[in-house]
Each structure stands twice: as structure tokens, then as C-alpha cells.
Chain A
């Protein structure tokens, strides 16, 4: 055998490990739930797109039945207390109308009959629902049609609180914790330990395989979420969102943040998989650590993946008045870091975890009977 320089040898060995691991990671039956997990947010956005498109069609149909063309401003002009005649004078006869009578119990005397009506208007995009009691408007609700700005905030919320914190988190747990732990349970880890291969090189190879697998699965999931998210937009609205309202830049950032999340959480779960037999304990500990990050002292915040990822997210999720303080703390990012610092932060946290893994992998023994 020709003697290769160490770096070339390690590169070749890492490639071999990655090849073996990719096959196992992508086609393992025990990893099927990870694909299901990655599919959930896509289904969520597909469902949202279908519902929004259906609602839009209904609005268009209703808008066509108006006595006169209405604008969004016309819909906003209706106030509580107006009479039904005032409303009809302003918006015309409603294309959708319901009425019923309420038997209102009063303290003394016979029950009073209160007539109720409900009018439904649309400008073709936004719907106006009016509730009348005794001939006066007592309830106004406007259901807005699709609005890229509002939807972008919704997308950011789903990304930060569902996709990153749950889907990517648990997906990385499933893949990275099994890189070593799965083979110990299968009693096949000795295959690697009997090869002329530094344990650290094996660890790096497995980590890269995990990163590749999670990036392929979750970046693809994120890409499909973006497609599903913009699917119901009209062509012009899509162009406007993607090319003039930073939609493309946001999409690229979301994909990058997803890849960084795989790197960061992957490194955490790799070391956890070597240290713990039961994945539930470290998963719960890391989940809690990530959740309480906003409440931690400034120094400790830096030893978290979500701290840096939140700083990289392109759209902040607003906290409207009345949001519970605990939730507001989770949402807000009062101490963000710059994008380069955030990327370096995730990489540094990952390197720290990998260093711990390298120490642990050197100490590992093959003793399946105690597992």
C-alpha cells in the first residue's frame, strides 16, 4: 500500500466513513419518522395555501355579486352603531345575508324579541362580516385576504418556533445521537474500531455524514416550505414579494439558518450520543437549555445554538400588546449579535462540542453487554 500523507489519508478515510454512513442514515427504517417530521411544516404551508386560495376564490365570487364595486377603504368605512340603511347606502345590498331572532330574557316581564342580521361583503380580496342587533351594527370583522407582509411574519413564526426548535431539533437528535449510539445498540461499532483509522477521523466522518443527511432533509424541507408558502400568491404578488420585498434574500437566509441549525444541534447531539445511553435525558436538557436561553445571563447565552440562530432570522416575530410576558421573552431577541458573529458563534459552539466528542471517542470501549 502506498503511504499517503496524513491529510490525504484522513480525507480518504473520512470519505469512506461518509459513504457508509449516508447509506445507513438515508435508508434506515428507524429514521423514517425524521422524514415525517420534515414533512409536517410543508403540509402546514400546503394546507395554508389551499385554505387561502379557497378563501380568495370565495371572496372573488362574493365581490362579483356586489351591487357596486367596493374597495378596501369602503369596507373600513363601516363602524359600529350604524344602521342597516346606512350600511346599504354605503356598500349597497349585501350579497350574503342571514337573519335570526333572539329571545332575550329580561329580569321583569315577558322575553323581548331582538332581531339579528349578518351581512357579508367582499372587495374581491378582503371580506367584511357585519353583525346587526336590533337594526344597528354591533360587530365588525374584516377577514383580510392574502397579505405577503403578514404571511411573512407567520412564516417567520413557524420557522422559529416550530421548524427550528422542534423539527430540526428532534430531527438532529434522531440522526446524530444514532451515529454512535445506534451502532452500539446494533453491536456493530467494532467494525469501525477495528479499522486502521483514528477515532477522531471516524468522529469527523460521522459528523459530516450527519450534517449532510440533516442538511439534505431539512434544507429541502425548508425549500419546499418556501415554495408552498408562495404557491398561492398571484404571479405579480409573488414577484413583488420575492424580488422587491427581499423574499429571495429571506429565503436564502432561512436555508442558511437551517443548515447552521443542523451543524449546531448536530454537534450537541453527537457528543450527547456518546455520553448518554438514554437520548431522552440529554434531549430534554438541551431543549430546556435552549428554551430558557432568553432568561440566562449574557455569558451563558453564548453557549446556545438558538441564541445565534435567532439573531440570523431575517424577520422578527412581533409581540402584540397582551402577549404573555413569558412568551414575549421567548419571541424577543433583546441582545442580538451581528450576522457574522452569529455564524461564527454557531461554528464555535459546534467546534466546542466536537472537541468534547473527540475526547470522548478516544475513551470509548466496546462493551456491548453493559449497554
Chain B
């Protein structure tokens, strides 16, 4: 059985408005983040992979299931949408319980799973209250509980951390990580880059309906040749190191840190830079640490898309 979520040349148009265009993806298990500004196509991509909208062109398979087969698809998929509306008159518990009963589960099974999911999102105290009276964060959590309730293999989460307080955020991130560790696909959309950086194994960068990059952050960064790599080196003799590094032809710019104990080096060839740095270290320059300064989602995003509408 295929263990991937596959998009094959998928396009979606809403009338004449482009949702996404010519998307080809193969998403493995783990945490994958969809990153892009508002209107870039993140939600469309999620709605497409859950069958809430149909592609204008192309095919989508979720672990071999077609997206127009909800009866089987949603046995393995849980989707926490951004739609902040619920069936009228239901309590938090009834919301999850009814969802599970709709799947054909018997009363006992549904009750057990509903409480499990509610406890996972720390909402047991409010479970008997009407969802209409929940705060934004509670509504977000109950939607997450619904998506998690049947222990799906694919979790699709549209801006799942919106409205959550810092404690709840870290709890949810732990839940996502645990699911990913169990071999789950956790597909998250977010425009908060530092969160994406913390939780993602892979990113898919979207802009104006197009996938402009995908893969592990480091791999994506290394493919961006037009922007020199920035490397932060902490050492005791930065001026000496700067003089040596300037001999390397790929070095573009070096700036010495304010505290005089570090350098920020811009280079066109990171591999060559690291080789040279090793030689310098062997020749007696004391180097405390070396770290890429722009090998993160923030930088990748800024290089590829720009920084509009993105929260860092």
C-alpha cells in the first residue's frame, strides 16, 4: 500500500479564480507544513486532499484512497478545518460523539473515543457545555479533538494553533509530534513561520496557487543559489578568522559581531566554506560554534516569496 499523499498535476479553479495550479506532490509520513501568505492556496490544497472540493484537473490519492470516496477516506483522515461553525445545539462531547456515530461506530465505542479525544485536547471540563458558548481557543481545540478522535493515519490541520494560548500550543505541538512519531502524516498549514520551523519535518511553500518549493528546509535552502548562504561563527579571534576567510574566493561579505566574539559570513559556496573553516581550525584558530544563519523557514520564505503577510 502506498504510504503517501499524492497530487498529480492538480489544478483547482473557482470559476475564473485560481485556487492552485499544476500541483505535483508526494507527501511522506511525518509533519509537513504548508506555508504561504493568505490566498496562496493552502486551504484549497487541504480541501482538495479531503474531497471537500474537487480538482478541476488532475488526481489526488491519499494512501491509495480516492478523495471522492468519503466512506473510506475519512476512516484514515482527520481534518480540522478553519470553518468556525458547528451544528447547532451540540455540546463539545456531543459534537465528537455524533461525528463518531456518523462513522457507524456503536454507542460505547463512540463514547470511549470521544472522551479520549476530549482529554487529549484538555477540554474535559467544558465537554458538557454547548459549543456555541466556547471561546475561540476552545473551539479550535474541539475541532482538533474531532480530527483526532478516530485515530487517523492522516491528520490535516488548517491553522491548528490559531487562537491557542502558549501552553495549549506546546501541548498541541506535542500531540502532533507524537502522531508523526507513530507514522502518521501530519499536514499543517500555517503562516506563523517560527512555529513551522519548530515542528516541521518538511515544508511546502506556496505562492499565488503554485508550489514554489518543497522538501526539508535544509534541502530547499541549498537549492536557492541566488542568495548567498549566511553562516554564524563564534570564536575568540574573529578578526584573524575574517582575514583568513577573505582569501576564499566564494566569500562575499564578512561582518564582525558587536561583542567581538563572532562573525557573520556570506558565501556563495557553503561546502567550500566549511572545508576551509576546518583547515583554519586545524591551524589553531579556536572556533566555538558554527551555525547556518539563514537555513530556516523564515529565510527560505523570504528568499522565495518575500515577507508579506507572514508572522515570524
Give A contacts to B, CB under 8 Å.
1, 4, 9, 12-13, 16-17, 19-20, 23-24, 27-28, 183, 186-188, 190-199, 201, 362-363, 365-368, 370
Contact = CB atoms under 8 A, between A and B. Distances in A.
Given A9-B104, A187-B83, A24 B89 contact: yes
Nearest to A8: B104
Interface stretch (B26-34, B65-73, B268-276): B65-73
A13 B88 contact: no
B116 interface: no
Nearest to B52: A366
A13 B81 contact: no
B88 A28 contact: yes
B104 A12 contact: yes
Given A4-B104, A13-B104, A362-B68, A194 B79 contact: yes
B103 A13 contact: yes
Interface string B27-68: 000000000000000000001001111100000000000001
B63 to A, nearest CB: 14
Contacts of B99: 191, 194-195
Nearest to B110: A16
A193 B68 CA distance: 11
B74 A190 contact: no
A17 B87 CA distance: 12
B167 interface: no
7 contacts: A13-B102, A20-B102, A186-B88, A192-B102, A194-B146, A197-B74, A370-B14
Contacts of B47: 366
Given A4-B104, A13-B104, A362-B68, A194 B14 contact: no
A109 to B, nearest CB: 81
Contacts of B54: 363, 365
B70 A199 contact: yes
A366 B70 contact: no
B104 A188 contact: no
B70 A196 contact: yes
Nearest to B12: A365
A196 B103 contact: yes
Interface string B245-268: 000000000000000000000000
B73 to A, nearest CB: 7
B120 interface: no
A17 B89 contact: no
Which among B75, B89, B104, B106 has the greatest number of chain A C-beta atoms within 10 A?
B104
Given A24-B89, A186-B85, A191-B86, A197 B102 contact: yes
Nearest to B81: A190
B109 interface: yes
B70 A187 contact: no
Contact of A20 (B98, B105, B146): B98
B101 interface: yes
A191 B139 CA distance: 14
Contacts of A12: 101, 104, 106
B57 to A, nearest CB: 15
Nearest to B73: A196
Contacts of B68: 362
B102 A16 contact: yes
Contacts of B52: 190, 193-194, 365-366
Contacts of A186: 85, 88
A28 B81 CA distance: 25
A17 B88 contact: no
Contact of A16 (B51, B88, B101, B150): B101
Nearest to A20: B98
B67 to A, nearest CB: 11
A275 to B, nearest CB: 17
Contacts of A188: 83, 85-88
A195 B14 contact: no
Nearest to A28: B88
Contacts of A197: 70-71, 74, 102-104
Contacts of B88: 24, 28, 186, 188
A365 B53 contact: yes
A5 to B, nearest CB: 11
Nearest to A12: B104
Contacts of A195: 70, 74, 99, 102-103
Contacts of B150: 196
Nearest to A4: B104
Given A197-B70, A197-B102, A365-B54, 6 more contacts: A192-B102, A194-B79, A195-B103, A196-B71, A365-B52, A370-B14
Nearest to A187: B85
A19 B97 CA distance: 12
A198 B71 contact: yes
Contact of B83 (A23, A24, A190, A363): A190
A362 B51 CA distance: 10
Ranked 10 nearest A-B pairs via Cβ: A195-B102, A196-B74, A187-B85, A366-B52, A16-B101, A196-B103, A9-B104, A365-B53, A188-B85, A198-B71
Interface string B91-132: 000000011011111100100000000000000000000000
Nearest to A15: B101
A194 B53 CA distance: 12
Contact of B89 (A27, A194, A366): A27
Contacts of B98: 16, 19-20
B83 A196 contact: no
B149 to A, nearest CB: 11
A363 B53 CA distance: 9
Contacts of A370: 14
